[in-house]
Homo-oligomer: A and B are copies of this chain.
């Protein structure tokens, strides 16, 4: 494999010294970029974009051509696994993801099996391989998956939800059925991330987008426990290098200590938490990734710089910080503002690593 020219991101995740704080943006390949919108248009629809390795590679690389980002992230959808399980993923115009066959009963759950990663999700692995080849060692590539609980919410609700009435209905009324669903999902996510690592992903991230809607007890039992099991089953070294794992439970800041014991190398933080306090809470157990409010990117480049400076100062000296937004970049942000953000992180962080 080609030598990695910029390994700041991997080093920071392992709390090894770096020259400046590495930075990338969740959803950096996205609708705020006109070139993304052009490729999306060319693809015709979102799923074709995800399922065509050449197009997925194209949009994965786009933000790197504009900004000196320290990592690329596989362009894909969070719901590829349930789709491969036969639920019939589709995107209703303006309504987000939907499933033709939601999972509502124990019988529905019993029918589910772990997909074959090469046959059913081969397009993802093809994209990983093609992106790695195209990157040619420029920056590391991040693979990812939704967490079992997060995937389960979409599968049970049949799409997005605000109140999670059905998913939580199952949690409270039929916990054994939900556990069975989470079990098959945990096995599938483990295989999925390992297949991405085998194909060339140099770090992986688990997105627990909906972990934060659970009670403290249920977060531990229905979300974190399954993420821990996945992390236990992951390939942690490949191509002679460690493959760091990032765990991100949005809205889960009160459970950082438990997350730090999950086996993950790094924790994603949303923007509500002060990163300095988060660091004090987790100590040297894990690195931290985050955590600027994506809405700061609506403000002027000067204001963006100010916020970057504040977060760098809050984190303090030393490695173990990957700068990011606390959630995906919004569609209506100006690309010049994203540029100002990335530039500010590199420029202002050097003194913290001297």
Residues of chain A touching chain B, judged by Cβ–Cβ distance below 8 Å, are 163-165, 168-169, 171-173, 212-217, 219, 251, 253-254, 271-274, 277, 293-296, 298-300, 303, 307, 330, 332
Contact = CB atoms under 8 A, between A and B. Distances in A.
A211 B330 CA distance: 20
A163 B298 CA distance: 12
A168 B293 contact: yes
Nearest to A291: B215
Contacts of A171: 295
A298 B254 contact: no
Given A295-B168, A303-B173, A307-B172, A272 B217 contact: no
How many copies are assembled? 2
Contacts of A330: 163, 165
Nearest to A212: B272
Contacts of A295: 163-165, 168-169, 171-172
Contact of A298 (B173, B212, B216, B299): B173
Given A164-B295, A251-B251, A254-B254, A274 B169 contact: no
Given A172-B307, A293-B215, A307-B172, A273 B298 contact: no
Contacts of A272: 212-216, 219, 251, 254
Contacts of A332: 165
Nearest to A297: B172
A164 B169 CA distance: 29
Given A295-B163, A330-B163, A274 B217 contact: yes
22 contacts: A163-B294, A163-B295, A165-B295, A168-B295, A168-B296, A168-B298, A169-B299, A171-B295, A172-B296, A172-B299, A173-B298, A173-B299, A173-B300, A173-B303, A215-B271, A215-B272, A215-B274, A216-B277, A219-B272, A251-B251, A251-B272, A254-B273
A310 to B, nearest CB: 8
A45 B164 CA distance: 28
A172 B303 contact: yes
Given A171-B295, A251-B272, 18 more contacts: A163-B295, A165-B298, A165-B332, A169-B295, A172-B293, A172-B295, A172-B299, A172-B307, A173-B298, A173-B299, A212-B272, A214-B272, A215-B271, A215-B272, A215-B274, A216-B272, A216-B273, A217-B274
